[in-house]
Amino acid sequence: MPDLNAIRTEAKRLLAEGVVDVVVAFKAGETPLHPQPAFFRSADEVDQLVYDGLCQNNLATFLTRVPKQSKVGMVVRGCENRSVNALVVEKQKNRADLFLIGVPCEGILDWQKIVGEVGETVKSVKENGQNLMIETKAGYQLLERHDFLHESCKRCIHPNPMSADILIGEALQEGDPNLARTAVETFEDQTIEDRYAWFQKEAERCIRCYACRQACPMCYCEECFVDHIEPRWSESGATPAGMQGWHIVRAFHQTGRCTSCGACERACPMDIKMTYLTEKLNHDMREKYNFEPGLDAQTQPPFAAVTLDDKNRFSV
Amino acid sequence: MNLILEKQALQDLLQSWRQNYDVYLPQKLERFSHFMPLTETSVLVTDEPHNTRIPPKSLFLPMTEALVKFTRYGGYEDARHEIQPRIVFGIRPCDAQAVQLLDTSFIQDEYTDPLWLERREKTITIGLGCHEPCLNGFCTTVGYGPFNKADLDAILTDMGDVYLVETFSQAGDACFQGLPVAAEETYQEALAVQHSAHDQMPVAFETENLKEKLEQNFKNNYWDEVSQSCLGCGVCTFLCPTCFCFDIVDETQRRERVRNWDSCMFRTYSLEASGHNPRPSRVERTRQRISHKFVYWLDQVNQIGCTGCGRCVRYCPVGLDIRSMLRQAHSLPFEVSHAI
């Protein structure tokens, strides 16, 4: 875990010296399991800043929600840094207006897995290397950290922020690229009928609350396709067609843009698996175009890039 | 009537109800429990230390339902299905209370919703009190409690090997016909369990003058602060047992007019045909959600429109907690209004 004091010191400096107008990070929530995204606008507020493995949101999602001219500091992990890069590529923010405080990420903890193991009365969670020390009403319990990670974090390839303005803590070893395929493989190894049954089972649990969309930094459209009324582009209700349509089109809109952060699955109140779809698209992007979203802040995603000498005619 | 039900006998009793009723009870679905129809192989979930994820309001107001089916040449026909008599078993007191609150909206003389009314009339609700109150809930703070009895035909109190069953209606009596009557002593023990559960719940926030504070601070920066990290998703409202907003949409390809759950947290919720939106940002939308529950419900039916089930607290993806939002509201300035 990176040194919290070092993060605070840097955040304070940015605000005190006027480098940024706001620092986007986390603050403690009502319980240790739910830290909240927070916006610090002056140095003396920064003592409330926290950072731990339970900070489950992708903060880059707030980048398109602060005034466009404002200068923003942000605590970023590997995935958040990639999301910021992808947003800069899509001209949602000038990189010059950003100051990224990078922290190498050991993976985000799944609070539901924790309470499933130790019960509801969690008083504190201490992270110590590969261990978790959980304090509950019944006493202390030592857990293996890795077992309580979110699935998307277990297969993370790039835990380190690659283009932060300052890195706090030691860079971690890069993840195994073969692991990135695990979600896709479990899906692809099945017969076509089983795949459809899986997709139906996942998609049709949906309640159309759009937490996945709202949690996703890349879903910043002013008007989402499901909200369009004239003409209506998708079925509105919680019907099989409506729910399947939402999940498949949402995934397709992420082609070459999804940074595999898993914020969609973490936000979903119905535990719907979604990353097997986006990971498949990411895999195809790597395989066919040698492209990974967000690795830098310049390269256009293959499906967004247009050149005048394109061999293929642009057609709709 | 106060009766004794052996826990071992519960499964047979539930199955026996299936002869005359569709029975719904909480069962495991993925990592949570969900009200689903009882089958021969159903396993009832009673040991979860919290509520079902989707509130049982969905049994009375489904997420999506067809109201009207259009026929050729401008005609239409009723798309409703007939509903069988039902028993909802294992409903928690907060959720039962919520259904009663929703009656005040859906059952109003000439504005009564026939779909809601039919489902209500054909449903027997049997509650399961919370002898170990959940940590996210705050039912006592908003005036209800872990053994709140409103709108229940019967309620069960867990007493180890047995349940004490209290029945409050003829329908409730009929469900538990033939069970032995509880001794006065056992009933007193059950009351002790109920009181202890009630006493275990801390006061989550002050409700005195809360309405006035929220009302008088309609334009306070407080709303900017508490809505800052809101993602604008529908988790809090869709999982809320008292949120009942819906949207009516013509699904032209299916030739149906449908009613879907809607959420005041959505951009499209108050978007007008002109393009103007009187609630243009998350600030106004958050204010609406909180004010509806803690101001407007009070204006309309003199009851707080929140039963303290704690779902919005537990499942908010950014950890926004209505309890701390309302604790913060406690320090808002206000003047006592003296009605003449």
What are the tens digits of pLDDT across the range A80-97? 999 999 999 999 999 999
What domain count does chain A have? 2
- For residue B62, what are the contacts with CB-CB under 8 A and spacing of at least 6? none
Q: Tell me which residue range forms the domain holding A120.
A: 111-148
B25-35: string of b/e by CB count within 10 Å (b at 16+)? bbbebeebbbb
> What's the pLDDT score for residue A314?
60
Q: How far apart are CA A24 and CA B173, in angstroms?
A: 58
pLDDT band at B208 (very low <50, low <70, confident <90, very high): very high
Does the pLDDT value for residue A313 go beyond 80? no
Query: Residue A177: pLDDT above 90?
Result: no
Q: What is the pLDDT of residue B120?
A: 96
E strand or H helix that includes residue B154: strand B154-159
From the CA of B231, how many Å to the nearest CA of chain A? 6
> Rounded distance, CA A303 to CA A203, Å?
26
DSSP H helices, chain B, are 10-17, 93-106, 114-121, 170-175, 184-200, 210-216, 222-227, 235-238, 282-291, 297-301, 311-315, 322-329
The pLDDT mean for chain A works out to 94
- pLDDT tens-digit series, residues B108-143: 999 999 999 999 999 999 999 999 989 999 999 999
The answer, yes or no, to whether residue B340 has pLDDT greater than 60, is no
**Chain A contact set for B232 (CB, 8 A):** 214
Q: Is A37 on the interface with B (CB under 8 A)?
A: yes
pLDDT surpassing 50 at residue A316: no
The pLDDT > 70 percentage for chain B reads: 99
- Residues in A 69-88 with any Cβ partner in B closer than 8 A: none
Does one domain contain both A15 and A125?
no
Tokens of A283: 């895999």
Considering the domain architecture, whether residues A185 and A71 belong to the same structural domain is answered as yes
Nearest residue in chain A measured CA to CA from B254: A235
A68 and A179 assigned to the same domain? yes
Q: Decide if A301 is inside a domain.
A: no
Inter-chain contact A30–B228, Cβ cutoff 8 Å? no
Same domain, A120 and A255: no
**Whether A60 and A138 share a structural domain:** no
Look over chain B and give the mean of its residue pLDDT values, rounded to a whole number: 95
Question: Is pLDDT of A273 > 60?
Answer: yes
In this structure, the answer to whether residues A155 and A86 fall within a common structural domain is: yes
Q: How far apart are CA B167 and CA B153, in angstroms?
A: 6
Domain spans in chain B, listed from the N-terminal domain onward: 2-200, 210-329
Mean pLDDT of A245-263: 96
Residue A179: pLDDT band by 50, 70, 90 thresholds?
confident
Reported as a pLDDT band with limits 50, 70 and 90, residue B283 is very high
Is pLDDT above 80 for B249? yes
**Is B56's pLDDT higher than 80?**
yes
- The arithmetic mean of pLDDT across residues B11-38, rounded, is 95
Q: Looking at the complex, does the CB of residue A56 fall below 8 Å from at least one CB of chain B?
A: yes
- Tell whether omega for the bond before A177 is within 30 degrees of 0, i.e. cis: no
* Shared-domain flag, residues A105 and A217: yes
Q: Are residues A131 and A57 in the same domain?
A: no
Do residues A74 and A193 both lie within one domain?
yes
CB contact under 8 A, A30 and B229: no
Token pair in block for residue B153: 């035909």
The mean pLDDT value for A5-14 works out to 98
The full DSSP string for chain A is ---HHHHHHHHHHHHHTTS-SEEEEEE--SSTT--EEEEE-SGGGGGGEE--TT--S-GGGGGGGS-TTS-EEEEE-HHHHHHHHHHHHTTSS-GGGEEEEE------B-HHHHHHHH-S-EEEEEEETTEEEEEETTEEEEEEGGGGB-HHHHT-S--S-SS-SEE-SPPPPPPPGGGGGHHHHHHHTS-HHHHHHHHHHHHTT-----HHHHH-TT---SS-GGG-TTTT-S--SSSHHHHHHHHHHHHHTTTTT-----HHHHH-TT----HHHHHHHHHHHHHHH---TTSSSSPPPTTT---TT-SSPP--
Between A2-6, B150-154, B172-176, B332-336, the lowest mean confidence (pLDDT) is in B332-336
pLDDT band at B339 (very low <50, low <70, confident <90, very high): low
Three-state secondary structure call for residue B24: strand
Question: Is the CB of B251 less than 8 angstroms away from the CB of A269?
Answer: no
Using a CB-CB distance cutoff of 8 angstroms, which residues of chain B are in contact with residue A205?
29-30
The per-residue pLDDT for range A182-220, each reduced to its tens digit, is 888 888 899 999 999 999 999 999 999 999 999 999 999
Give yes or no for residue B338 having a pLDDT over 70.
no
Same domain, A216 and A154: yes
A186 contacts: CB under 8 Å, gap ≥ 6 = A276
Do residue A260 and residue A244 come from a single domain?
yes
Q: Which residue has the higher pLDDT, A315 or B241?
A: B241
User: A172 with A135, same domain?
Assistant: no
